[in-house]
A and B are shown apart, each in its own frame.
Chain A
Amino acid sequence: MTNSWTDIRNTDLVVVMGGNAAEAHPCGFKWVTEAKAHRGAKLIVVDPRYTRTASVSDFYAPIRQGTDIAFLLGVIKYCIDNDKVQWEYTKAFTNASYIVKEGFGYSDGLFTGYDEEKRDYNRTTWDYEIGEDGFAVTDPTLQHPRCVWNLLKQHVAVYTPEMVERICGTPRDKFLRVAQMISECSSPTKTMTSMYALGWTQHSHGAQNIRAMAMLQLILGNIGVRGGGMNALRGHSNIQGLTDIGLMSHLLTGYLNMPTEQETDFEIYMRSRQFRPLRPGQTSYWQNYRKFMVSFQKAMWGDAATAENQWGYEFLPKLDVPAYDVLRMFELMGAGRVNGYFCQGFNPMLAFPNRGKITASLSKLKFLVTMDPLETETARFWENHGEYNEVDTRSIQTEVFQLPTTCFAEEEGSLTNSGRWLQWHWAGGSPPGEAKHDTWIMAQIFLRMRELYRKEGGAFPDPILNLSWNYHDPNEPEPEELAKEINGRALTDLSDPADPSRVQVAAGKQLLNFSQLRDDGSTMCGVWIYSGCWNEAGNNMARRGTEDPDGTGAYLNWSFAWPLNRRTLYNRASADLQGRPWDPSRKLLEWDGTKWTGYDVPDIAPTARPDQVMPFIMNQEGVSRLFTRGMLRDGPFPAHMEPFESPVPNVMNPRMRGNPVARVFQSDLSQFGNADEFPFAATSYRLTEHFHYWTKHNRVNAALQPEFFVEISEELAALRQVVNGGWVRVWSKRGSVKAKAVVTKRIRPLNCDGRVVHVVGIPLHWGFVGAAKKGFGPNSLSPFVGDANIETPEYKAFLVNLEPTTAPGVQS
């Protein structure tokens, strides 16, 4: 989230699209209710289903899943055509005026440079003209035909209300009502917030869904302001934290990148990470990358990371592919190229697509280790549960270890919520049986491995033998010790850059925050963006001050928000070029003539002049990007792409299947279904009574929603002669499930380009262990393909067929 949960109270319009906050994030959704009650805010829901969020909305519009880009580009076109643009913001704070290189274009659903063979673009034309002074060329008058603004206008021209209706199935009048309501927020004194979740990410074009809304929010001037923003409602309690800390194949901590094998040494790695400003006087904060990186390496390898060995650069693995993401790992596993696998609090047998492939892949492992507080289907993937898990147990040669761990109530530490608040919590109960903390287990594995390499030697033991592990009890590092490493400390006395005779931080002291990091090995810091979380003032994550001056919802003394306790990202954009708040009644920051003051920690140097230094300090441009250069693989603008399994052809290019650059493994190509065989458009979702596959272990939640079902419209029920509460079989090219049918008015057929599209809704909470009845999940059916940029699987739009059947275990 750019903003926080408590900031939603400040909004005028909430758009829930790609999510269902009332069900999936009920206590955060409270702040929508507050905004409606106290500010007269309106709520719009755009979704294939009439969700519980829709049931309390002011306006609901249906949409076919997977077509959000067309809808949003239609809204952008509406705003441009009707002059509903926050012009001063758009001109000053976005790259609207930047000139794009000659040769860039878009036709037949494809951008310039497409190579069908490689399923990739040559992206060299997707960039700015660079002048002789080394800066990007701009035309502040927006007259140049190749300035971003004119290219955007051209790009969205096709998305008329009629085109939106053809693609999305949203009736023209409903689309226009939504567009009109949204466009009102171009006023500097009206703000809109976007609340989205996996309804946008779980597509082969997920990143572009989100970009489309971000672009709309930028031209409306809604980023960096109270009650505005792009608010990703994340799924797990610490999914934000684990992403921030870089527990991903392609990341290091704090959004530093894993090196690739082209980056053969540290200086080559750094060469593409200079981040020189693209416009005069801009901050381009990533210029400090080297400080963050060296301090991270010192946190990993301590004294063994030296200037001579490039801070232990060789100790880091180098990637030969963009990422060994989960889809790639299960593809490799299926091919017999993965032998061991660890699942820490993770249940891939229900979480990853094409369950048949997942089970077959797990069966090829030599060993599997699960670490979980609860039973999981994954730990028992080899166990035969009749039609719920039809496996030949004896033939599965995988050795499995199921390790019991503590749960939240039995452990201490911090979690990072969607609003980037790091909140500390304490253990209240004792673990059951022999259950152990995950940290203890990781330490045990590490210490054993280190000992084996010490004694026996083996493949490249250096990064293991040299890993910094100086804890009071090496068998179980304490949360406080780990948090302090995350924050970082001075390794030698740090002299004050302003007065070298003065010591800024004494050796061994915790750093105040990341502004004190150095690139000469004199500081260490595990996760630079978290620096400040535990400094010499103590554990800032445990702060519990509830004061909130003037009721802004900032709560600066409650916990610690990254970065630097800042609550709203890009908050300098809440004020104009003179530093005056766009909306004086919703002031966030103000320029007092010499510095920024206000309700939040400024997201800019405190003395940066408002007419000179632009607000998007992490970008080399200093401004935000409507045109994203070559940074995303599938286009500098979002463009309409169908899901890989779509009930209709892509109207822009009927030959194009899915995202033209998304990775597809050879073995999955034959596993895509077509609409003639699988005519119905399926989607997956959560219910408010359940959390993934955990709460089916709880008696209360299992009683609230005891068994698997699918939701279909009355029209589809009539078409297939399904009765409400009757059993149906739902199958895709990859699998088949049995479910109770819920026949509902909440789902209605859509009319897309003259075809009737029926939607099948599939909730995701059942398996074969726990207190609830045995059932299935959407992953038995969904395709093994991910987003072109980040490989998040396409769970939200795929094709199925459906027919009445008998109960499981009963012959028809």
Chain B
Amino acid sequence: MNVELSRRGFLKVGGAGVAATSLGAMGFSEAEAAVAAHVRPLKLANTTETRNTCPYCSVACGVILYAKGDVRKGERAEIIHVEGDADHPTNLGTLCPKGAALKDFIQAPTRLQHPMWRKPGSDRFERISWDQALDRIARLMKEDRDANFVAKNEAGVPVNRWTTTGFLAASATTNETAWATFKVVKALGIVGFDNQARV
């Protein structure tokens, strides 16, 4: 299980109105349990909680994503709230003005929905299917690689580099994505390969 019973999870159980006897067993007095039983269940009570980390700076604050729906069960899940993870040793639940607004990044109106294509000289993007886009990209890459690949230098030494197509990698992707990206780009012989660390 990815999400252990956190302090927050514990409170959620309380907020959901568990019987007074079990609350008592958890250390609540009867009076507190009576109050808890009358409180409206928290809006987050029926959400799925997921541990994540803030994608912005390198402090890597722990965050908890609250979603309607559960992706682990194959459901469509919409994130409705993001907050700091109180169990995280670095941020101890706090978030900065950027991290506190993460939900707005996830749901930004300018989140991209579909692959888009701009033809040479055109003044607009148009929809294209994934298959069409990827087939066309692979074809363009192969044409360029076959035409410009440097197999040997002037001294006849094998150098096997491809300098006419470059690749910038994203330093907000995971290490696992980075490793997959590294494998593909280096195997193709692309040498114009950097990430934000260069800047």
Contacts and interface: CB of A to CB of B under 8 A. Distances in A.
B165 A401 contact: no
Interface in A21-38: 24-28, 30
Interface stretch (A53-61, A495-503, A719-727, A785-793): A785-793
A688 B76 CA distance: 33
B78 A429 contact: yes
Contacts of B87: 544, 546
* Max chain A Cβ within 10 angstroms of own Cβ: one of B61, B128, B148, B170: B170
Which of B58, B120, B123, B184: most chain A Cβ within 10 A? B58
A492 interface: no
Nearest to B121: A394
B186 A374 contact: no
Contacts of A477: 176, 180
B59 A325 contact: no
A243 interface: yes
A530 B176 CA distance: 12
B112 A332 contact: no
A435 interface: yes
A270 B166 CA distance: 28
Interface stretch (B10-18, B26-34, B46-54): B46-54
B98 A701 contact: yes
Given A316-B186, A318-B161, A344-B168, A771 B59 contact: no
A625 to B, nearest CB: 22
Interface of B is mostly: mixed
A238 B175 contact: yes
B60 interface: yes
A340 B57 contact: no
B59 A5 contact: yes
A469 B183 CA distance: 9
B99 A27 contact: yes
A695 B187 CA distance: 34
Given A366-B144, A792-B198, A460 B58 contact: no
Nearest to A333: B166
Contacts of B160: 314-318, 460, 463
Interface stretch (A404-412, A602-610, A743-751): A404-412
A317 B186 contact: yes
Given A329-B192, A409-B65, A449 B101 contact: no
A426 B199 contact: no
Contacts of A394: 121, 123
A241 B58 CA distance: 10
B37 interface: no
A467 B166 contact: no
A346 interface: yes
Contacts of A695: 56, 98, 101, 105
B111 to A, nearest CB: 5
A243 B195 contact: yes
A694 B172 CA distance: 11
B110 A485 contact: no
Interface stretch (A73-81, A84-92, A229-237, A645-653): A229-237
Contacts of A434: 113-115, 130
Nearest to B69: A430
B123 A383 contact: yes
A27 B59 contact: yes
Nearest to A482: B176
B19 interface: no
B4 A317 contact: no
A758 to B, nearest CB: 27
A11 B92 CA distance: 19
A466 B155 CA distance: 27
A792 B178 contact: no
Given A249-B193, A460-B149, A448 B173 contact: no
Contact of B106 (A315, A404, A407, A426): A407
A439 B182 CA distance: 11
B51 to A, nearest CB: 6
A326 B197 CA distance: 11
B159 to A, nearest CB: 4
A449 B141 contact: yes
A546 B7 CA distance: 13
A429 B106 contact: yes
A546 B59 contact: no
Interface in B81-109: 82, 87, 89-92, 94-102, 104-106, 108-109
Contact of A343 (B78, B168, B186): B168
Interface stretch (A127-135, A143-151, A451-459): A451-459
Task: Determine the interface band of chain A, counting residues with CB < 8 A from chain B.
Answer: 35 or more
Contacts of B89: 6, 546, 548, 555, 558
Contacts of A422: 175
A194 to B, nearest CB: 16
B96 A442 contact: no
A404 B117 CA distance: 12
A771 B125 contact: no
B76 A317 contact: no
Given A320-B159, A346-B169, A460-B151, A245 B141 contact: no
A345 B173 contact: yes
B55 A237 contact: yes
Contacts of A697: 105, 108-111
Contacts of B97: 26, 688-689, 701, 704
A284 to B, nearest CB: 26
A325 B112 contact: no
A464 B192 CA distance: 17
Interface in B125-168: 125, 128, 130, 133-142, 144-146, 148-149, 151, 153, 157-168
Interface in A307-357: 314-320, 324-326, 328-329, 332-333, 337-346, 348, 351-352
In this complex, the member of B61, B104, B184, B197 whose beta carbon has the largest number of chain A beta carbons within 10 angstroms is: B197
B168 A346 contact: yes
Contacts of A244: 175
B133 to A, nearest CB: 5
Interface stretch (A274-282, A413-421, A664-672): A413-421
A771 B115 contact: no
B177 interface: yes
B71 to A, nearest CB: 5
A112 interface: no
Contacts of B134: 441, 444-445, 448
A245 B175 contact: yes
Contacts of B172: 236-238, 345, 408
Contacts of B194: 247-249, 325-326, 329
Given A239-B197, A247-B169, A340 B58 contact: no
Interface string A244-263: 11111100110000100100
Contacts of B51: 425-426, 544
In this complex, the member of A202, A325, A415, A542 whose beta carbon has the largest number of chain B beta carbons within 10 angstroms is: A415
Interface string A284-319: 000000000000000010000000000000111111
B187 A237 contact: no
A67 B77 CA distance: 52
Q: Which 8 A-B pairs have the closest CB atoms?
A: A345-B170, A413-B174, A433-B113, A428-B65, A428-B50, A404-B112, A417-B60, A448-B138
17 contacts: A5-B90, A28-B57, A242-B171, A242-B197, A247-B194, A317-B160, A318-B159, A422-B175, A428-B71, A430-B71, A430-B77, A459-B146, A460-B149, A467-B187, A482-B180, A544-B51, A770-B110
Given A401-B128, A482-B175, A527-B175, 12 more contacts: A245-B179, A252-B186, A339-B165, A374-B110, A383-B123, A396-B121, A402-B112, A409-B106, A429-B106, A434-B113, A448-B135, A464-B187
